[in-house]
Amino acid sequence: MSLNRTNIEWALNPDGTQGFSWNPITGCLNGCDYCYARKLANTRLKDRYLLNAKVADIDQQLRDPNSPLWDKVVKDPFYPRFWEDRMNLRSLVKSKPKGIFTCDMSDLFGIG
């Protein structure tokens, strides 16, 4: 489980302490200029994001480095990616309630 403490003021635990963010999916296809998540993905998080090749909708064409889509998708740090290692929820089952902002680094449903 990859929960991270967040400084987002409204993301609070039930006891009033600072809550968490959880990002099993990162990235977005909307391309909004004002997006803080896009800016982070293209700067300080770029190398970390590019290490994960589990891009959304991956198909045979995207597995070929000679594909015209390769540069557009695999080398774009903000193209939607799935982080399987962040899906282990066992630690939440036995813990006290938490305030969790899910997917603050993506647009989970792709609607902008």
Strand order in the sheet with 100-102: 3-5, 20-22, 100-102
Domain residue ranges in the chain: 3-102
Q: Looking at residue 68, what is its pLDDT?
A: 76
- One-letter amino acid identity for 72? K
- pTM assigned to the model: 0.77
Rounded-to-integer distance, Cα 37 and Cα 6, Å: 14
DSSP state at residue 63: G
Q: What does each C-alpha distance from 42 to 17, 66, 100 come to in angstroms?
A: 30, 23, 24
Q: Which range scores top for mean pLDDT: 41-45, 48-52, 71-75, 80-84?
A: 41-45
- pLDDT tens-digit readout, 43-60: 999 999 888 877 766 556
- One-letter amino acid identity for 47? D
Q: Looking at residue 103, what is its pLDDT?
A: 92
- pLDDT tens-digit readout, 92-104: 666 788 899 999 9
